[in-house]
Amino acid sequence: MSRIQAIVNGRKVEADVEPRKLLIDFIREDLGLTGPHIGCDTSNCGACTVLYNGRAIKSCTMFAVQADGAEILTIEGVSTDGKLHPLQQAFHENHALQCGYCTPGMIMSSIDLLTRNPNPTEEEIRLGISGNLCRCTGYHNIVKAISSVAKSHIFVSPLKKAKEE
Amino acid sequence: MTESVTLHREETKNVKWVGSRYPRKEDLRFVTGNGMYASDIRIPGLAHVAIARSPYASAKIKGIDKSKALEVPGVVAVFTGEEIVAELDPLPNLLPSPYDKVKDYGIAVDRVRYAGEPIAVVVAESNYAAWDAVEQLEVDYEPLSPVLTAKSGCEKGAPLVHENVPTNVVWQRKFTYGDVDEVFKTADLVVSKKFKWHRFTSAPLEPNVVVVDYDKRHVIFNIWSNNQRPAFNQAAIAKALRIDANRLHFISPDIGGGFGIKNENYPYIILLAVAARRIGRPVRWIETRTEHMVASAHGSEINYEGEMAFSRDGKILGLRAKAYHDEGAYMRREPIAAFNFIRHATLTYTFRNLEMDIYAVVTNKCPVGPNRSYGKMQQGFLVERLLELGAKKLGIDPIEIRLRNFVSSEQMPYETPTGAILDGGDYSRALKKVLENMDYAALVKERDRLRSEGKLAGVGISMGMDACPINFSSNRLINPKSTASGESEAAWVKIDEDGNISAAVGTSPQGHGHETVVSQIVADVLGVHPEQVYALPGFDSWTHPSTPHSGTYASRFAIAGASAVNEAARRVRGKVLRIAAFALKEDVENLELADGSVVSTKGKGKVPLKEVARLAWRDLANLPEDEEPGLYSNVIYKTPFKLPIDSQRGNFSLTYSYSACVVLLEIDPGTGVSRVKRVGIVEDAGNQINPLIVEGQVHGQMGHQLGAALYEDLVYDEAGQLLTATFKDYLAPTASDLPSYETGSIVVPSLFTPLGTRGTGEGGGAPLIACANAMDDALLPLGVEYDSSYLSPIKIRELVKSASGK
Amino acid sequence: MYPRAFRYERAKSLDHAIELLAKYKEDVRPLAGGMSLIPLAKLRLVSPQCIVDIGRLEELKGIKEQKDFLEIGALTTNTEILESSWLGEKFHLLLDTAKEIGDVQVRNRGTIGGNLAQADSSTDWPATMVALRAKLVSKGPRGEKVHEIDSFYSDQYTTALEADELLTHIRIPKPGSYSAGASHVKLERRKGDYAIGIVSAQLEVDGDGKVTSAGIGIGAVGITAVRGTKVEELLNGKKVDDAVLASVPGAARASLEGSDILSDIKAPAVYRLDVIGTLASRCVGEAYHMAVSRKSARSER
Ligand SMILES: Cc1cc2nc3c(=O)[nH]c(=O)nc-3n(C[C@H](O)[C@H](O)[C@H](O)COP(=O)(O)OP(=O)(O)OC[C@H]3O[C@@H](n4cnc5c(N)ncnc54)[C@H](O)[C@@H]3O)c2cc1C
Ligand code: FES
Ligand code: FES
């Protein structure tokens, strides 16, 4: 067992973990944050995507021990002040989700994308979410939702907020 | 953080909610990470299950030594197939005797029949420990030679997949309509071609999950799973467990996509139930992606030998085909995929002569099961591909040939040779509209421009048909002993004593937005806002109504589910009006329900719904004499279906939604890689309860179908190992691999449903088929014909090379 | 999936890392970005007894321009490279390569050193390093070594490194002129996948448009990345016109003679050998075009 500390969604957590425990299992099983999901065994689907020190990563492809000292943001920490984040609102309005299983990961990757590139082209949006598979929507409305947020310049990084809290 | 989040909605008054693009109510929990999926359930004392699986496609199990596995730290129990099966009866299948004797327990006992078949159930304190123990199981196998194709399975002397039945051809029937031999003799043109329909899977992003808690105090199995029709499956599960079905308490919470496959996780429910009862603790199994790929329910794999007869002017005279279905190792829902051709065998066309010779063959591969557009896209592929080849040979434009063969809107309702009664529609309008939306002339120009740049490019057109829901009397054509007929769905609507409105349906949605759609329907009937209707999420057999047909499959919600809830709401409305009429001393005919109140149109005042509710539940002395208290209605809607006409004909679906699709495909001749440059579709789902959701379903079909055409292929090697067992090798497409979609719709209401809706969702495969037709068009300059539903770059490149070598 | 148990050690410094590796030498793996190691561990295809986490070694991170070469720390992530747009002027090929790797999540974690140490010819960096004639610097208990890229790989998943040695830096010679043209052509079945064919090229030209220096790397065909020797020979001293381009496919295939060819479900060997010709002529065409236009842009200034 190794002792780790991390800031998850602005809260400090401390735990003993078996070294082989994957970060996604730590987040889901130990912290009870079941927003991030598991959809594959080979790091292809992105359902487990969280922000790790501000960047999108696949939490199934990291050991929890590696995250010692890190700041992690999951989908549960994205909305603030009782309001949906603009991306969450846009996913809703554009019917960018059906079963919702890919949605948490999609939104986290979209945050990484818009943080670095506030005005992406359609191609850049598609590339930005190419590490996230969706089996329901055929991606059309997801691209539309992300693009609508970019076009109306309402994107704000949820990271700053999480820090302030 | 997320607890008090709200959605922003425009305030709108006095609109009809049914028909509006109402954004989904369920989204809020999903976009905030608060969805409740089966793997999110937390129960104290939970133990974790891993399933040990066969590495061989076919082998005898000579022994299993579990002693080392039991020594692994954290292991609770290990059950071999033999130990599990001791507590089970086999799962039923649909086959006529003697093939009904094919034994299926969901776990192997002394013989394994596909690589990935469960052989033991391991229970441990964590998933990690459970997998450690799986590795320590010592199994003594005697490998046998596997049957890996339908054709080889048919051969004399082929090894038997199930040794207790006479052959591997577990179901065979030839269906003949009209005078097929005659038209083929006299036709101006007959095209014939062998086609391969490749094996692929809809692969929902959430794998299968089962959690079972055996409550021995009440002798109840509490079952959380992502099964998409638990009420449908409960009889089979109860029978296998040798218990009464009312001892099964099913909960299907939010489901992460199903597409048919999640009908088929019921064998795991049985395995987990046995394990939970044996160890006296709740158990949870979360399928890994690899397990999902090797052992859930693949889509069908078919070798077609097809022929189509034409007159000189391009009229289809007849279709004759042999279809060899590779069914995999167990016949769970099969041979339905093989049989489903019958639902709309002639698609959107008028030809009357048809012969389908179907062979359902068991092989040592993953069992085939329901997958989006189950058996429907395959028949569409056969018809549309042969039609395309005929058009080419006859020198008739692909659009023109379709227009010449369509059933016209004046002919509706139209009875097809197999007895299907098409419920209205305008096929030529749909085709013309998609061509117009896409600017077909410009599309062809673009194709020619690409060709002039040295690319291979093709334009492909296809129709698709989605026949739904299922008239279960069709099972009698598979097995005359089958006693089912028709289908049904249940719903209740309730207004409680404070005027709160709730509704529930027996469908278990997997992202279809039923909470929203139910709310829209109820809101209209009761004159309230959809936000005032609480539609119960998911499915819970103790709180939701259900029938043995309940569930979300076969694109049935807009017919059965919607009709049931609509009727339940109407009955509640009737009662509300009667009570209000009594209170206002007004005639029911002069009352209206709007904005949460019952209003007299003659100025005799109004009563808020809340007040009616109080009267109905609490102020019982003030109710009309003969009125039962309460505001509640439970409705079982019976989809109007009849028995088969004869042993090979009947109307086995109620609505026949359809679509027309056009694709521009570009192929890099240097690599054989193809890409869809543009794709457009026009769909007629009849009246749309929520066009936003219908459009989303069409997008979903696109994603699945284009994925299947260009990327997804389940490939076995010659030992029967699945080579595409992960998302690394099974190429589920990313956003960068797919184009944006140009979708449109026309609305010709269904003649047969209360709301004029047609079932939709699965789709009829038009995008995939259009890709195959576009491929043919692209290869035309090379003088080669394509023969598969999968556009493999390797094969295309071979064709390009062999053509340039000519 | 769930990896087997292992011992976890976090290295505090490069020397500490080497000490740990030496200590568990029999069955140890360094862990960098984990984008190859962890998926393999999850499938239980690789299960070292000990994993040494080198992820925090600051001395192995970052990109520095030295006098004669560019030095990239082994732990520099693909994203860090991609976001160093200043590299575009002299080392365009690095940007071209980094952007092709996986997806944003994989690029955010995956490191250039881990990629090269994995010795998978289907990944993007090995072919590029061949094209750039990179030198790989390693450190172990026996001190520092400098490896030529051409002798770094001996087989699939096999490098010149010992179990207790770490790749520390990658040195990339500066192009002789500022007008190098570059192209990284990758054939993948699906966006972000491992390649089924890679050609990476850096070309320099003189005022007449004649190639003065050519570096060609071929990946995802042979079991290791291979130098396109015959292509380089073909191009050197020539203007790349259609006739030359037409000879590139043959030269690319000739360069692979004697190599064992990869073959799997995504692409059988015949296919890989076939399409590499197409990829090679496209890559050379693009790199040459860029070199010539950069050259003329410079001389106009
Ligand atoms: C979904 C997905 C898609 C991908 N697509 C691509 C792609 O398109 N192109 C591509 O190029 N790659 C791709 N990759 C691989 C990715 O680039 C990996 O990051 C890379 O191969 C390994 O780098 P890493 O830092 O993650 O190394 P790790 O996984 O940490 O290590 C890889 C191996 O190298 C060893 N190692 C690591 N660092 C050192 C060192 N400094 N010295 C000695 N040994 C070391 C480790 O012990 C291990 O054996 C993909 C990966 C995934 C998961
Ligand atoms: S679960 Fe992490 S990428 Fe699929
Ligand atoms: S919405 Fe179901 S996987 Fe994306």
Looking at all shown ligands, the one closest to residue A100's CA atom is 3
Which tens digits make up the pLDDT trace of B85-120?
999 999 999 999 999 999 999 999 999 999 999 999
Per-residue pLDDT, averaged over C207-222, amounts to 96
Asked whether the beta carbons of residue B737 and residue C268 sit closer than 8 angstroms, the reply is: no
Position C80, amino acid: E
Percent of chain C exceeding pLDDT 90 equals: 94
- Cβ B24–A95 below 8 Å, yes or no? yes
> What pLDDT was estimated at residue A82?
86
Q: Does A67 touch chain C (CB under 8 A)?
A: no
CB contact under 8 A, A109 and C105: yes
- Answer yes or no: CATH 3.40.50.10490 is held by domain A2-77: no
Work out which ligand 2 atom sits closest to the CA atom of A43: 3
Q: Which residue of A has its CA nearest to C54?
A: A66
Structure tokens at B250: 């099913």
Q: Do A20 and C4 touch (CB under 8 A)?
A: yes
Which subunits count as partners of chain B given 3+ CB pairs below 8 Å? Answer: A, C
Asked whether residue C193 is assigned to any structural domain, the reply reads: yes
Q: What is the pLDDT of residue B769?
A: 98
> Chain B residue closest to C194 (CA)?
B728
**Any ligand 1 atom below 6 A from CB of C33:** yes
The verdict on the CB of residue A104 being under 6 Å from ligand 2 is no
Is pLDDT above 70 for C11? yes
Judgement on whether residues C200 and C227 belong to the same structural domain of the protein: yes
Residue A161: predicted pLDDT: 54
What gap in Å lies between CA B355 and CA A69, rounded to an integer? 69
CATH of the domain at C15: 3.30.43.10
Residue of C nearest to A54 (CA): C108
In a domain, C235, yes or no: yes
Q: Which domain holds residue C149?
A: 60-173
More confident residue, C296 or B58: B58
List, chain by chain if needed, residues with CB within 6 Å of any ligand 3 atom. A 97-102, 134-137; B 205, 257, 511
pTM of the predicted structure, to 2 decimals: 0.97
- For B796, the token pair is 């295309």
Q: Is the per-residue pLDDT at B263 higher than 70? A: yes
Question: Which of B290, B737, B797 is closest, CB to CB, to C190?
Answer: B737
Q: What is the mean pLDDT of residues C52-58?
A: 98
Q: In testing the pocket of ligand 2, which one of A22, A40, A63 has its CB within 8 Å of the most ligand atoms?
A: A40
User: Does a structural domain hold residue C128?
Assistant: yes
Q: Are residues C225 and C207 in the same domain?
A: yes
Interface of C with B (CB under 8 A): 1-5, 39, 43-44, 103, 187, 189-193, 197, 265-268, 271, 274-275, 278-279, 282
The DSSP 8-state label assigned to residue B91 in this structure reads P
* Residues A74, A35 contacting (CB under 8 angstroms): yes
| pLDDT of B5 strictly over 80 | no
Per-residue pLDDT, B93:
93
**Residue A62 to residue C34, Cβ atoms within 8 A:** yes
Domain range annotation of chain B: 12-35+488-638, 38-144+207-255+261-295, 371-380+394-473+652-804
Looking at the fold, whether C194 and C279 belong to one and the same domain comes out as yes
CA–centroid distance, residue C104 to ligand 1 (Å)? 14
Superfamily holding A86-156 = [2Fe-2S]-binding domain (1.10.150.120)
The mean pLDDT of C9-20, rounded to a whole number, is 98
Tell me whether strands C211-219 and C197-205 are parallel, antiparallel or unpaired: antiparallel
Query: Sheet holding C166-173: strands in order across?
Result: C63-65, C69-73, C166-173, C135-140, C143-148
Contact between residue C131 and residue C202 where contact means Cβ atoms under 8 Å apart:
yes
Name the residue facing A43 among C7, C35, C55 (closest C-beta): C35
Say if residue C208 is in the same domain as residue C269.
Answer: yes
Q: Find chain A residues with C-beta within 8 A of B693's C-beta.
A: 95
> Are C200 and C281 members of one domain?
yes
Q: Whose CA is nearest to atom 3 of ligand 3?
A: A134
Q: How many CB atoms lie within 10 A of CB C90?
A: 18
Kindly identify the ligand whose nearest atom is closest to the C-alpha of C166. Answer: 1
Please tell me the predicted confidence (pLDDT) of residue C301: 57
Give the pLDDT band (50/70/90) at residue B555.
Answer: confident
Per the structure block, which two tokens stand in for B319? 């279709």
pLDDT tens readout for residues B600-636: 999 999 999 999 999 999 999 999 999 999 999 999 9
Confidence of residue C178 (pLDDT cuts 50, 70, 90): low
B697 CA to centre of ligand 3 in angstroms: 11
Using CB atoms, pick whichever of A58, A66, A127 lies closest to residue C105.
A58
- Show which of residues 68-97 on chain A sit within 8 Å of chain B, judged by CB atoms: 74-80, 82-84, 88-89, 91-93, 95, 97
Mean pLDDT, residues C72-93: 96
pLDDT at B3 exceeding the cut of 50: no
Burial of B362 from C-beta contacts in 10 A (0-12 / 13-18 / 19+):
buried
Q: Is residue C32 assigned to a domain?
A: yes
Contact of A36 with chain C, judged by CB distance below 8 Å, is answered with: no
Q: How far apart are CA C73 and CA C77, in angstroms?
A: 9
Q: Looking at chain C, which residue has its C-alpha nearest residue A61? A: C38
Average pLDDT for residues B294-299, to the nearest whole number? 98
Closest ligand 1 atom to residue C168 Cα is 41
Pairing of β C197-205 and β C181-187:
antiparallel
pLDDT tens profile B465-497: 999 999 999 999 999 999 999 999 999 999 999
The pLDDT assigned to B554 comes to: 83
Question: Which residues 146-165 of A are in CB contact (within 8 Å) with B?
Answer: none
Average pLDDT value over all residues in chain B: 95
CB B666 within 8 A of CB B654: no
Chain A residues whose CB is inside 8 A of the C106 CB are 43, 58, 131
The reported pLDDT for the residue numbered C1 is: 85
**Exposure class string for B19-34: b at 16+ Cβ within 10 A, else e:** bbebbbbbbbbbbbbb
Confidence tier at B11 by pLDDT (50, 70, 90): very low
- The pLDDT value recorded for residue B804 is 78
Angle (CA) C251-C257-C258 rounded to 5° is 160
In whole angstroms, give the CA distance from residue C9 to residue C118: 20
| Percent of chain A with pLDDT strictly greater than 90 | 92
- B52 neighbors B134 (Cβ within 8 angstroms): yes
Check whether residue C133 and residue C197 sit in a common domain: no
Q: Considering the domain B12-35+488-638 in this protein, what is its CATH number?
A: 3.30.365.10
For residue B559, pLDDT beyond 60 = yes
pLDDT of residue B754: 83
A contacts of B39 (beta carbons < 8 Å) = 34, 37-38
Q: Which residues of A touch B42 (CB under 8 A)?
A: 32
Instruction: Reply yes or no on whether the pLDDT at B13 is more than 80.
Output: no
C5 to B671: CB separation less than 8 angstroms, yes or no: no
Residue of A nearest to C103 (CA): A131
CB distance A144 to ligand 2 below 6 Å: no
What is the percentage of chain B residues whose pLDDT exceeds 70?
98
pLDDT by residue (tens digit) across B404-434?
999 999 999 999 999 999 999 999 999 999 9
Query: Is residue B1's pLDDT more than 70?
Result: no
The C-alpha of A46 sits at a distance from chain C's nearest C-alpha, in angstroms, of 8
Question: What's phi and psi for B566, nearest 5 deg?
Answer: -60, -45
Counting Cβ atoms within 10 Å, is residue B366 exposed (0-12), middle (13-18) or buried (19+)?
A: buried
Distance between CA atoms of residues C214 and C234, nearest Å? 9
Alpha carbon nearest to ligand 2 atom 1, residue: A38
With a 6 A CB cut-off, is A58 part of the ligand 2 pocket? yes
- For B175-197, what is the mean pLDDT? 98
In the sheet that B169-177 helps form, which strands lie side by side, from edge to edge? B169-177, B353-361, B316-326, B301-310, B189-197
Q: Whose CA is nearest to atom 4 of ligand 1?
A: C102
**Chain B residues inside the 8 Å CB shell of C282:** 670
Ligand at shortest distance from the CA of C129: 1
Our mutation pick for probing the ligand 3 site, out of B27, B31, B205, counting the most ligand atoms within 8 A of Cβ, is B205
**Is the confidence at residue B221, as pLDDT, over 50?**
yes
Q: Strand B59-65 and strand B533-535: pairing?
A: unpaired
- Any chains having at least 3 CB pairs less than 8 A from chain C are A, B
The answer to whether residue A130 neighbours chain C at the CB level (below 8 Å) is: yes
Are residues B789 and B709 in contact, defined by beta-carbon separation less than 8 angstroms? Answer: yes
**Which residues face B220 on adjacent strands?**
B215
Q: Does A46 sit in the ligand 2 pocket, CB within 6 Å? A: yes
User: Are C161 and C99 contained in the same domain?
Assistant: yes
Q: What is the pLDDT of residue B12?
A: 38
The whole-number average pLDDT for the span A108-137 is 98
Cβ contacts of C53 on chain A, cutoff 8 Å: 65-66
Which residues of chain C have a CB within 8 Å of the CB of B801? 274
Round to whole Å and give the CA distance between C268 and C58: 41
Average pLDDT in the B665-685 region?
97
Tell whether C2 is covered by a domain. Answer: no
> Is the domain of C221 the same as that of C150?
no
Nearest to B494 by CA among B636, B637, B635, B633: B633
Given C131, C152, C173, the domain boundary residue is: C173
Which string of b and e fits B302-311 if b means at least 16 CB within 10 Å?
Answer: bbbebbbbbe
Distance between Cα B725 and ligand 2 center (Å): 15
* C114, C144, C173 - which closes a domain: C173
Please check the confidence at residue B521 and state whether its pLDDT lies above 50.
Answer: yes
Domains B12-35+488-638 and B38-144+207-255+261-295 fall in the same CATH topology: no
- Facing residue for B734 by CB, picked from A38, A82, A133: A133
Contact B261, B201 (CB under 8 A): yes
Q: How many domains are there within chain C?
A: 3
Q: Is the pLDDT of residue B10 over 80?
A: no
- Sorted by where each begins, the domain ranges of chain A are 2-77, 86-156
Architecture (CATH level 2) of domain B38-144+207-255+261-295: Alpha-Beta Complex (3.90)
Q: What is the predicted pLDDT for the residue at A163?
A: 53
pLDDT, position B113: 98
Residue B438 scores a pLDDT above 90: yes
The CATH number for B371-380+394-473+652-804, chosen from 3.30.465.10, 3.50.30.30, 3.40.640.10, 3.30.365.10, is 3.30.365.10
DSSP H or E run through C277: helix C269-300
CB B430 within 8 A of CB B660: yes
